[in-house]
Structure formats: C-alpha cells, structure tokens
A and B are shown apart, each in its own frame.
Chain A
Amino acid sequence: MRRTRWAAALAGCALLLAGCSSVPTTGVAGLGGGPGEVTIQAGDDEIPALREIAQEYTADTGVNVRFIEREINAQAISNFISQSPTGQAPDIIVSPHDNLGQLAANGVVAPVELGDRGEEFTKNARDAVVYNGVSYGVPYAVESVALVRNNALTTDDPATFDELRAEGHRLMDERGIKYPFTVSQSPDAGDPYHLYPLQTSFGVEVFQRGADGEYSNELAMGGQNGHEFARYLAELGRSGDLRTSMTPDIAKESFISGQSAFHIAGPWELGDIEAAGMDVTVLPVPSAGGKEARPFAGVQAFFVNANAANPVAAQDFATNYLTRSESQTALYKSTGRPPASKVAIDGMQGDPLRSAYAENATKALPMPAIPAMGAVWSFWGTTENGIVNGNGDPIELWDRMIANIEGQIQ
C-alpha cells in the first residue's frame, strides 16, 4: 500500500514536471516580452554554418536564433505555405529557388532588398531570386549537372555527345563495362532535369526569356529544334544508351562500381564519389545538337516569411548577416555546395571538383520559378520517357506534349 502511494506521488510529480517543461516551448508568446527570437528552417548540412553566423548575430543584437531541422521537399513547402498566414511558420526558410513562384503567388515571402550587396553574387544567383521584377531572397549555392569522368577508365575529353557515346561503346567492348554513360532517370516520372543540357544543345529552352532574363509563360520547346531533340532522344533509347529504368541509385552505383566512365550528375553526388576514393574530373556536358549544352541552375536561397513573427530581425539577419562573405564561405564549407558568392568562389582553392561545378554553374540557365513550370514537369518527364521507350512516333509525342502543356497553362 505504502509503495503504491509513493509510486503515485512520483508519477504525479513527473507529470507535473513534464507539464512545466513544456511551457516555454509551446509558448505564450503574446504574454511575454524579452529580446525575441528568429526561427530558421534549414537542412542538417546548413545548420552548423548558420549556428556560427547566428552566434555573431546574437552577440550583436541579443536576439536569439532557433533552428528547425527539416529536409526541404514539396511537402515542406506546402506546409510553409499553409502555416505562414497563421503566424506559425518559421521566419526564414531555405529553399531551392524554383519554389519561389509558388511562394510568391501565395503571398508568403517578403521582398528582400540586397542593395549593393547583390553585386557580390554571380549573375545566375541574383537572377534566380527575382520574381516578377522583385528580389526575394539571399542565395548561397548554385547547383547544376555536369559530366563526371572516371579517370581510371578514360582520360578522353569528348567534344560532342556522340563522341562521348563512341568512347563509351569502345570501353564497353574493350574493358567490359556495362554502360556508355550513366544518368539519373525515373521509370514513372522521367527526369527532364538531368537531360536538359542535351535539350538546350539543340537550342530548345523550356520557356521564352525576356531581355532581363526572366521567363515568360510562352513555351519555347516547339518547332524544328524541338523535333530534332525528340528524334535524338528516340535514337538514344533505341540504341539502349539511355534507359528510363535507370533510377538515381542504379546510376550512381554503376558509376562508382566502374560500370560507366561518364556520369551526368549534380554536385550532391560528389560526397559518395569521393568516399569511394575515385579519381574523377568534372567537365561540362558535351553538346549533342551543336549549340552550347546549358544545364539548369538550381539556386539554394534563404527566404523571409511575409508573416514572420519577428520580421525586422529576420530581414536584418538575412540582408546584413547571411550576405557577408564569411557567412557564404561558412555555408560552402558546411554544405559542400558550389557557392553563389563571388568571394566564396575565389576562396575555393584545393577543391578542383567543386570549383569546376561552380564554373559550370555560371553557364547554366536558372530553373524557371514561374507557376506555369508546375504544369510542365510531369508532361515533360512522361513524354521523354515515352519517346525513349519507343511508345510512338517521337515527333507526334513531342507535339502532343506541347499541346497538353499549353492547354494546362491557359
């Protein structure tokens, strides 16, 4: 009897303590004052660098910085959009810039005026965070796909994509490797992102661009060049060089295990490639259609919540602290993503692979952030898959895709 009484008393105390400890986190924010805090939602690789920057900021201003670790995917962006109007969303989020159109159309991101500090970023990075003529974010990394070559298999530097395929086939015959090249694809959704450098080498961009570099809603994939690219895709599929069933895992594993000498991949795969101890070189993707092969540039940027709980502090942290070259360098060091800041790029000696990616990114085209792009991805991917798999006449499939997308945008 006595023992149960003690147990009950202990359980009561535990519950009471649990109740007390949850008070500060659930927060009666409106009742308390204090120096306030800024919340930042970022990935696990960005947070170490952000902590350093935040330390300085807190020392200067007394404002505390709290981090929410979360991988940024479509779900995270959807959540941010629906939470922002309720005042529950973080003050600053990290996001790839191609979500900007959706964020801006929902009115959940605030304009961020960088002033002269904008000059410190590469043109691609600056353009990518502009939507409808308004600048919204602080970029920190520019990523684009390039050609990674396994130097143990070949040191050939092909000038065209057909030369690359020829070299790949020679290695298949002589060295017994399995694929002429590897590239991430998806059996159900396709992967136009990884094939974009091939497409642009035929002069086929996804949307028209205005003089200021901003995309319009006018599709630019139609016409003669588009047909030529479609035919080339069909030929890649027919020869078996390109397979839609080659998922990202299979592509990467095949390259790492030496089954392919050339790998079209983004800088995020460098970690695994380096971990495998491979000797590789990063080259631009060679042209297939005669024009320059320009991949998509995906810009990682910080955006400020339009309904931030602490908007002035959030703006201050973003414009005056995140833009510093030390901050940008710290972000490069902690994430390993090719930087957006010119100073950080200059400080990349001793990292030839990532410098090559940063160099490659300057020629890339920013991924369109306009909402119309949402209509493009799925049709584009499934049609490319259809063409590669030989499910019909390539020209017909391509033209039907354009009609479908235009129907969706209007």
Chain B
Amino acid sequence: MSTTPARPVISPTERDSAGDGRPESPPSIRHSHSRGFGMGFVIKLVLMALINAFGLFGILSAWAAESWGILVFLLLALIAADLVYFLPTRRMLPAKYLYPGLIFLLIFQIFVVLYTAATAFTNYGDGHNSTKQAAVNQLTRTYEQRVAGGQEYPVSVLNADGDLALATVQDGRVLVGSAHQALRPVEGASVTNGAIEAVPGYDILDYGQVTAAHEAVMDLRVPVSDDPADGALRTDDGRTAYPYTPTLVYDEQANAMVSDDGTVYADNGQGAFVSPAGEELRPGWRVFVGLDNFAAIFDPGILGGPFVSVTLWTFAFAILSVALTFFLGLLLAMLFNDKNLKFRNVYRAIIFLPYAFPAFLSILIWAGLLNADFGYINQVLLGGADIPWLDNPWLAKVSLLLVNLWLGFPYMFLVTTGALQSIPSELYESADMDGAGVVQKFRSITLPMLMVAVGPLLIASFAMNFNNFNVIYLLTGGGPQDLESTTGVGATDILISFVYKIAFAGGTNDYGVASALSILIFIMVAVVSALTFRRSRALEEIN
C-alpha cells in the first residue's frame, strides 16, 4: 500500500479559499458540497440545526421523564453527530456516511437484542410485572378493607401548611381531620347547601389542585375516631371517602407482608411474598433469576419435550420449504429457459402471480380452501371427501409445506431464471463435445454455477422460513393441538410461534422464558448461516 495519494492534494489554506466559489478556482478539484459557505453548506446547517433541536427536545423530555439511560444515549449521539458533521478533518468522511446507519442499527437491532437477552435472565411475566416497591404499594392498597357498615362521607380536601386534611359535614357540623388528627368538629366553618365554603386555618383545594396533588391525596388516611377499629378515611376521587382498615402491612425489618390474622408472607427471593402454607400474594415483582429460564426450556418436565419436537419440526419446515421451493422454481426456470418456446414471457408472468398477491391474503384463502367440511378442496375438487387437511397432525404439516411451496416457488423461479441465463453457453457446448449427458451437465455445470449466485439467497430464505410466523399463525395457528400435552403447543408450531404462545397467547404471559427461547433461535439461525456461508465461499472458489 502506497501512502502517496492518487489525486492532487490541496493544502488546508487552498481548501479554505476555494470554498467561497470563486470562478477562477481550478475546476478539476472536487469539493464536498457542504464545505465553505455555498448552497450545500446552508442546507447542511439547516438539517443539523433541526437534528440538534430534536436532540435537545428529546434530552429535555428524557430529563422530565427521568429516563436517564435514554438521556445519556441521546446526549452522546448528538455530540457524535455534531463532531462527525462539523469537524474539519478528512478522516471523518466515512463516518459521515456510516453515522445514520449506525444509529439505526444501535436502536433497532443492538438494543433489541440486548434488551431481549437481559429479559431472558429475569422472571418478567404475569405476576412479576414491576418493581418490589410497586408490588408492596399495590398489595397494601388492595388489601385495605372497607369497614363493615362504614358510611359514605362526602368530603372536601383541605390544606394547612402543606399538610392535607379532609373535611365533611355531619348533622350540620363541619368535621375536620388529618393524618395525625382524628375527625373532630371545628367552629366557625361556613357551609352553604351542604358544601363547605370556608374552614378557619385551612385552604380549601379546588378540583385542579386536588388532581395535581394526587400523590398526597391518595396517601392520606384520616382516622374516623381514636378507635382504630373504626378505620381511617380514604378518598379515591377527592369527593367521597369511606373508612378502611389495613389488613396487610409491609414489615420492612422482616422484609415480609404481615396479615392482620398474623400470617407472615415472606419474600421468597423469587419475586413474591409467600406464606408458610405456600400461598403466594399477587402481584409479585421482577427479579434476576439467572439461568432458570434456560433450565426450564431444557427440563423435560417443563418445556423440554415440546422444545425438542418443535425445534426438529422448525428445522424440517425451514429446510423442506427452501428445498421444495428451490427445486420447483429451478425446474420451471429450466423448462421456460428454452429459447424456442413461444409466449415464454406470458408463461413466466403467470408463474410469477402467486408472488404478486399479498401473502396474508393467500394464506387466509388457503385456510378456507382447506377447511375439512366447507372447504373448496374437499367439497368440490374431491367430491365431498372428508380429509382433515388441517386437523390431522401429519396432514397439517403437509398442507403447511404445500401452501408455503405455493407462496415461495415464484421467487425461486425468478432468481434461478436470472442465474441460468448468466451461465456461459460455452460450458455446455464443451460438455456436449466431451459427451456429457443431461444429468451430468446438470450436476457438474448448472447446479454449482447456480449455487454461487443463489447460495446466499437460499441461506436468507432459510433464515426467513425459520422464523416464518405469518404462514403458521394464519394457516393453522400452530394446531392441531396435542391433547396429551400440558403446554398448549401444537403439531405445526415452529419456534417463533411457540415463543408467541408463551409470551402473548393463552392465560399466562411469560416474557422471561419467551426471551430465553428467542435468544436460542437467534443462536441457531446465526450458527446455521455462518456454516452455510462458509460452504458457499468454498463453492465460489470453484468458479
């Protein structure tokens, strides 16, 4: 590598003087449009001003929402953007092209993968949805019990030196109480038509103030009397209060929730409070569980059985889908590659049609066609046959592959047609001279030459089918379900639809296990792609 630049180098001083667009500057030297003070620079300045404005707005929003991670990321990204586009050095040139792509890569790929990986090591899911503090608050609140026969108090919210109080009218007298002071009558308050107008020593909050002070209002408990059994008033809406008694209290020392009947619900270290009898309080909270989720996936007693069968079927589905579509596409491409065929392009257009229809539509139509009792295939084509296309585990798999073949072969037809035409015809001519047969020519010339061109596309197609959620979800929904199984998994579920069932469908959402499975899918696809890429590079060397 020589360090001598191929093009004339301009010194910094020359470069500066060239920027003002003087006509006498040598036209052979190419300038960046955004240098100097020409049109390009103005556009760049406007765009960067916008980016900075949005960035600052984002930073302020993150500040207000106390999202420190986002704040730091935005700050760094903004500084990097300004440096990349304003630093006057040539070394930044590649970064100018790469920067936007890198930012999107970080947000939409790297972050998602890292977040999924982080979730895979937690128990995030139904019942473990938030923090411990939130769980304690929610438990305390829902286990507050309205005092039996406790009446309804219409209340006003008062304020005295930042301390909230409740006022209510009873038998024409105004009663006021706060967190430290049980309800008691006050003198000198004025009441009109049952509404409290003024209470000496207190400000009456208006509606806007009550809603703004919601945290303090929701935490306020005003004892009805000095007897705790009468309960304490709590108001949810700022208008009405009811007396409640707490039945479950958090004991910080013991790190446990204590019930009024003496039961102690201790923190079990897995994100839940559990009584000695094994009763678990809901909600719990999110904790780090190490490799538990992965252990659950591989444990035959939990998900192990379905995981193995689903993985095998996923590989079978992806490989067969690619192989079937590829060979059908190739066969048709070779048939229609014959230059003597008339109306070749018309046939090609017809073959291409299934690819032109939206896949969602085709799949749903196929689901209707294959319906066992009402579908067109059984009713009309097979004259009222009773073939359970989607209800028998094996037939459902076959139907799925056939529908996926229908959806996928035009694409393979298209790419192989292109690749076939790029194979030099001299190769076939010399093969003919050497007396090679059709099969020999196909195996020794067509296939290897094709593989160089379409090999990477087959890998991409494999990865796509490995995670082909749409066709599974829309055609069979993963069914027919295994009646013996306790996991709800069906005969045609592939890994990604299995993940969907664990994370979103059914009664319980378990994002932790679903994330762990997603990470495993990621690893499988990555390994398979890496291995096959290496093989296709070996093919390239034949060329």
B interface residues, Cβ below 8 angstroms from A: 39, 42-43, 46-47, 50, 53-54, 57, 60-61, 64-66, 126-127, 129-131, 134-135, 138-139, 141-142, 144, 146, 152, 207-208, 210-212, 214, 217-218, 236-240, 242, 282-283, 371-374, 388, 390-391, 476-477, 479-481, 483-484, 486, 488, 490, 504-509, 511
Contacts and interface: CB of A to CB of B under 8 A. Distances in A.
A81 interface: yes
A391 B506 CA distance: 24
A329 B479 CA distance: 42
Contact of A62 (B208, B388, B490): B208
Given A85-B130, A383-B483, A106 B373 contact: no
A8 B372 CA distance: 61
Contact of B237 (A116, A132, A312): A312
Contact of B488 (A16, A82, A378): A378
B507 to A, nearest CB: 1
Nearest to B43: A8
A30 B240 CA distance: 28
A68 interface: no
A187 B374 CA distance: 11
A354 B508 CA distance: 34
Interface in A279-313: 306-307, 310-313
5 contacts: A189-B481, A244-B391, A311-B214, A374-B506, A404-B484
A286 B391 CA distance: 30
A331 to B, nearest CB: 20
A104 B282 contact: yes
A72 interface: no
Given A5-B39, A319-B240, A377 B507 contact: yes
Nearest to A30: B64
Contact of B61 (A26, A132, A312): A26
Interface string A21-53: 001001111110101100000000000000000
A309 to B, nearest CB: 9
A397 B481 CA distance: 14
Given A29-B64, A319-B240, A371-B126, A397 B371 contact: no
A122 to B, nearest CB: 21
A111 B142 contact: yes
A28 B126 contact: no
Contacts of A23: 57
Interface in A105-136: 105-108, 110-113, 115-116, 132, 134
A200 B250 CA distance: 43
A341 interface: no
A189 B506 contact: no
Contacts of B211: 35-36, 63, 310, 312-313
B207 A62 contact: yes
A241 to B, nearest CB: 13
A105 B283 contact: yes
Given A26-B61, A188-B481, A400-B484, 18 more contacts: A12-B43, A19-B50, A29-B64, A31-B60, A62-B208, A63-B208, A74-B504, A188-B490, A189-B481, A246-B374, A247-B371, A312-B218, A312-B236, A372-B507, A378-B488, A382-B480, A386-B483, A389-B388
